[in-house]
Structure 1
Amino acid sequence: MNVKSRVKVGAAFGVAALGLGILASPASADPSPVTDYRQLAGVGSDTTQYVMNGIGDSVTNTSGKIIASWNATGTSTIKTKATGCDTVARPDGSSAGINALNADITAGTNCIDFARSSRGPADTSTTDLTFIPYGKDGVTFATALGSTLGNTTAGLTKAQLASIYECNSTDFPNAQPLLPQSGSGTRTFWLAAIGITEAQIGSCVNQTLQEHNGLAVTNANQIMPYSIAQWIAQGKGFSDVPNRRGTTRLRNINGSAPTTGSGTALALNTSFDPGFLRNVYNVVPTAKLADSVIAATFVGSASKVCASSTVIANYGFGLLSNCGDTSVTGER
């Protein structure tokens, strides 16, 4: 092989929505306790950490709970299996998770079984990894509640967003763009969606943001990309999902709204500008697709992850007709 390198809400949803206007969840950040090692260990994306925690606390087989999903942030190191696995630096973001999975494949330790990713493959030179989709998300930009930056029905265009992140906007010369940390799948997706490369990022851009943290927006000139599903989930009152939205509001792109409905019925607009919609994935070694536990958990529309449609939707993601597909492959 060439390698370079939780919420069981179900029927309770309606009760909570009617009675409280929020949803409480028994899922937790990281397995709880941390010695609850389970059968498959996953790391990576901030965007999908909470939905995978929810799925991890709800899917089982005859050996018990299957998925232990480790959040993108928390303790500096994690230990994913009881034996044969040393502590490793916690991967923060899709690329970091995929790199950790590749490193585990090279080492042959089987300490990381899958990576959470909010982007597709960045390198298709090999078929070493399979990116298995299970939910639909979108990325738009967020600004402070009182901001006039894109706070119209039209919002901003792709070209306007590109000029803001290249720091040469004549429409919004005072804009202060924020960008997620290196290794973030949302960062990679956002730059591709607005049509600029890493080399084109302007010097005015603050590139140290932890993704989907609206608390970083402290004035009306700041602008940041935000996962629509994450923004929805953060406002639902889940006990395991910190509300990091602050005063931010999601804005339109090219006149297209990122959400539909309101209150507890707020949902991803699956007709949002298609250039800003994306699938989210669990990434597994292609050589292990035939492994019985991995196959039953991730592969095909009847897999345990794909059967968790209620959990997926409750965390703000849209459902996919090709959930569990194994045709998308790559190196990283």
Structure 2
Amino acid sequence: MNVKSRAKIGAVVGAAALGLGILAAPASADPSPVTDYRQLAGVGSDTTQYVVNGLGEAVTNANGKIIASWNATGTATVKTKATGCDSVARPNGSSAGINALNADIDNALVNCVDFARSSRGPADTSTNHLTFIPFAKDGVTYATDLGSTLPTNLTTAQLADIYKCTSTAYPNAQPLLPQSGSGTRAFWLQAIGVTEAQLGSCVNGNVQEHDGVAIANGNQIMPYSIAQWIAQGKGFADVPNRRGESRLRSINGTAPTTGSGTALALNTGFTPNFLRDVYNVVETAKLTGGANPNAVIIETFQGSTSKVCAASTTITNYGFGTVANCGAVTLKAER
């Protein structure tokens, strides 16, 4: 994709703990105060906003805390740097964050957006303009109400039928789906083998991802990040518990979590198609060997010994699993 077409995309960017215990480790909804700009600014995915906020508190260098990360929702606009950057519409979701990063690059703004949080992999590999750097493992399962009429275990095929609105076994199911541009939306549809064109008219496709309060009755069903659901129940000071009465359910007979209470964790043996890497996306030119390498981006994200990869305790605290390819810079894309 050329600069002009990419810029066109960029133009649209505008503690109840339920037995898990209260943890002292803080997370920030946005940098607090919002004038705490730090060295690298990130936007995008709802899925990874809390863990990246947590990394923002844990990851430092000689100049102090490195990462300032803005949540997917909140005030209508965000200002990511003290000077040289105007307020922009807050990006909500992986694609919106990636579009904001591309728009920043194309408009020759200086580090207004340094990285995008993404819960999906590349959607367009026509260039190597961006690098998707994995840093953690997540899984997505379906959630239903505590008193749901739907089973606590469904197969991939049954889920596909529900989202196509063709299920004869569960004709009263009311499927929910995150907003367009959500990485979780794209991942979920790929995992259950349903295209956007195949979605049925019974699907409500405009709910905020990982918000269990959106499940308002026993017939509703929605995809939910396993790590997000775990983190929301841990009592972190600034991670709101959005689970409502939702419960995570099994797929193909495999449970999404292991353990209980404070030991509740992502089941890394969950159904493989429903496990995913999550990423921090940066401009390829800023990495080692690039046209304009940035030492702070490199030390923070690149390689298995990067500061983010070294913060594995923070990553698992927020419900995610670790990945063997943490910090790898082989996955290139346009967006």
Alignment match, 1:70? 70
Asked if 1:25 corresponds to 2:16, the answer is: no
Asked if 1:166 corresponds to 2:164, the answer is: yes
Q: Under a length normalisation based on structure 2, what TM-score does the superposition of the two structures give?
A: 0.93
Write the deviation string for residues 225-280 of structure 1: whole angstroms up to 9, x where unpaired.
Answer: 00000000001011111001111110000001100000110000000000000000
Alignment match, 1:223? 221
Asked if 1:92 corresponds to 2:53, the answer is: no
Aligned equivalents of 2:20 and 2:80: distance in 1? 36
Does the CA-based 8 Å contact 2:27-2:239 persist in structure 1? no
Aligned equivalents of 2:165 and 2:332: distance in 1? 35
Superposed structure 1 runs of 4+ greater than 3 Å apart: 1-4
Shift of 1:103: 0.4
Aligned equivalents of 1:226 and 1:310: distance in 2? 23
Aligned equivalents of 2:172 and 2:21: distance in 1? 38
* CA shift in 2, pair 1:248/1:34, >3 Å: same
Q: What pairs up with 1:1-332 in 2 under 5 angstroms? A: 2-3=2-3, 4-5=5-6, 21-109=21-109, 110-151=111-152, 155-290=153-288, 291-332=294-335
The percentage of counterpart residues that share the same residue type is 77
* Secondary structure of 2:154 counterpart: coil
Does the CA-based 8 Å contact 2:144-2:220 persist in structure 1? yes
Shift of 1:27: 2.4
Letter in 2 for 1:115: A
Letter in 2 for 1:50: Y
Shift of 1:194: 0.5
* Secondary structure of 1:320 counterpart: coil
Letter in 1 for 2:30: D
Note the residue ranges of structure 2 that are not aligned, 5 or more in a row: 7-16, 289-293
Aligned equivalents of 2:149 and 2:262: distance in 1? 26
Letter in 1 for 2:21: G
Shift of 1:318: 0.3
Shift of 1:106: 0.2
Write the deviation string for residues 271-320 of structure 1: whole angstroms up to 9, x where unpaired.
Answer: 00000000000000001113211010000111000011000000000001
Letter in 1 for 2:239: V
Aligned equivalents of 1:26 and 1:161: distance in 2? 36
Alignment match, 1:11? none
| Equivalent residue pairs, number | 317
Aligned equivalents of 1:52 and 1:123: distance in 2? 24
Aligned equivalents of 2:283 and 2:145: distance in 1? 41
* Secondary structure of 1:75 counterpart: coil
Aligned equivalents of 1:288 and 1:106: distance in 2? 14
Note the residue ranges of structure 1 that are not aligned, 5 or more in a row: 6-16
Aligned equivalents of 2:24 and 2:167: distance in 1? 43
Letter in 1 for 2:332: T
Shift of 1:113: 0.3
Aligned equivalents of 1:194 and 1:20: distance in 2? 30
Letter in 2 for 1:73: T
Shift of 1:20: 8.4
Aligned equivalents of 1:189 and 1:231: distance in 2? 17
Shift of 1:148: 3.4
Q: Under a length normalisation based on structure 1, what TM-score does the superposition of the two structures give?
A: 0.93
* Secondary structure of 2:297 counterpart: helix
Alignment match, 1:9? none
